[in-house]
Amino acid sequence: MSNIIDGKAVSAQVKQRIKEETAKLKEQGIDIGLAVVIVGDDPASKVYVRNKKKACEEVGFNSYEYALPAETTEQELLDLVNKLNADDKVNGILVQLPLPKHLDDKVIINNILPEKDVDAFHPVNVGKIMIGDYNFLPCTPAGVMELIASTGTEIQGKECVVIGRSNIVGKPMAMLLLHKSGTVTICHSKTKNLKEVASRADILVAAVGKPKIITADYIKEGAVVIDVGMDRDENGKLCGDVDFENCKDKAGFITPVPGGVGPMTIAMLMQNTLTAAKVKNGLMDNTVEQEVDTKERTVFNKLFLHT
């Protein structure tokens, strides 16, 4: 039987680390604040916002919640974002998605200052992730990396398969695995022989949004299986993209749903907010340098930069 990766336990460790760092910053007179903006009455969004507020309390952050009516105009929302951009008490800004249909997600996200964009959705932060030279990581892929690390699995040289190509999970997930020198394949709805490709993976990340689509014949014996899905089965019960009962005896490590990736997403949001506060106060480098092959960089410079 596989080892079940306990996302609640790993997230608790991350939040404890953040709590300790936050306490030290408070001794230096530095308070940390996260502003969360929710527009409308989406029940799932309300639950997420409530959980984020609770996490802020756990780690010692100030939490600023802005609940706006569904009929809020784009200009009204932009005015609030600009106000929070200018507020020194606010280190991180999160606008809860999805927004009502009359509001343009891209316009709102693009107006959040990159240094306060703790969701890491701003194009500047997305570009930094691409080149491996960043402050913030999208919270769910960052949480997945923490879960993989908790197993003691070395990513370097491993076959990694990501099923899903969304901007929020699939694409950044692939980049993070690549930065750790994994050999990465991204699969999607047009991939041929998906089962064959997935079954080669030493590390399989499922982010499809289809309940229990991944069964044991998609999985290599002993693989690390991370289920990002948050679905409902035919009985309305919460489940993931991976058929847990069918796969748990074949995988080496596997995350459950619930209790796997979910708790990590909020923990990594707290980590991003802490990082934003440290950067603002000059307590760390402006960017987090990732492992880069010096020889590759030199070759790139010679070919494209003429240096």
Q: Which CATH number belongs to the domain containing residue 106 in this structure?
A: 3.40.50.10860
Is the same domain home to 255 and 157?
yes
pLDDT digits (tens, 9 = 90+) for 32-57: 999 999 999 888 888 888 999 999 99
- Please give the tally of structural domains in the chain: 2
pLDDT at 81: 98
Is the same domain home to 204 and 257?
yes
pLDDT digits (tens, 9 = 90+) for 112-153: 999 999 999 999 999 999 999 999 999 999 999 999 999 999
Mean pLDDT taken over the chain: 92
Look at residue 304 and tell me whether its pLDDT is greater than 50. no
**Residue that has been written with the tokens 């990501």 in this structure:** 162
pLDDT digits (tens, 9 = 90+) for 187-199: 998 999 999 999 9
In angstroms, what CA-CA distances link 281 with 27, 125, 138, 284?
A: 14, 19, 22, 8
Question: Is residue 204, in this structure, part of any structural domain at all?
Answer: yes
Which of 72, 95, 113 is the C-terminal boundary of a domain? 113
Question: Is residue 246, in this structure, part of any structural domain at all?
Answer: yes
Return the active site residues: 52, 96, 119
Which of 113, 147, 176 is the C-terminal boundary of a domain? 113
pLDDT digits (tens, 9 = 90+) for 239-266: 999 999 999 999 999 999 999 999 999 9
Look at residue 1 and tell me whether its pLDDT is greater than 60. no
pLDDT digits (tens, 9 = 90+) for 269-279: 999 999 999 99
Helix (H, G, I), strand (E, B) or coil at 110: helix
> 33: domain range?
26-113
pLDDT at 47: 87
CA distance 296 to 299: 5
Question: Is residue 273, in this structure, part of any structural domain at all?
Answer: no
Question: Is residue 211, in this structure, part of any structural domain at all?
Answer: yes
pLDDT at 45: 86
Q: Using alpha carbons only, how large is the chain's radius of gyration in Å? A: 20
CA distance 207 to 279: 31
Question: Is residue 283, in this structure, part of any structural domain at all?
Answer: no
DSSP letter (8 states) at residue 305: I
pLDDT at 307: 38
Provide, rounded to the nearest whole percent, the portion of the chain with pLDDT above 70.
92
| DSSP notation for 48-88 | HHHHHHHHHHHHT-EEEEEEE-TT--HHHHHHHHHHHHT-T
Please confirm whether the linkage preceding 123 is cis (ω < 30° from 0).
no
Question: Is residue 118, in this structure, part of any structural domain at all?
Answer: no
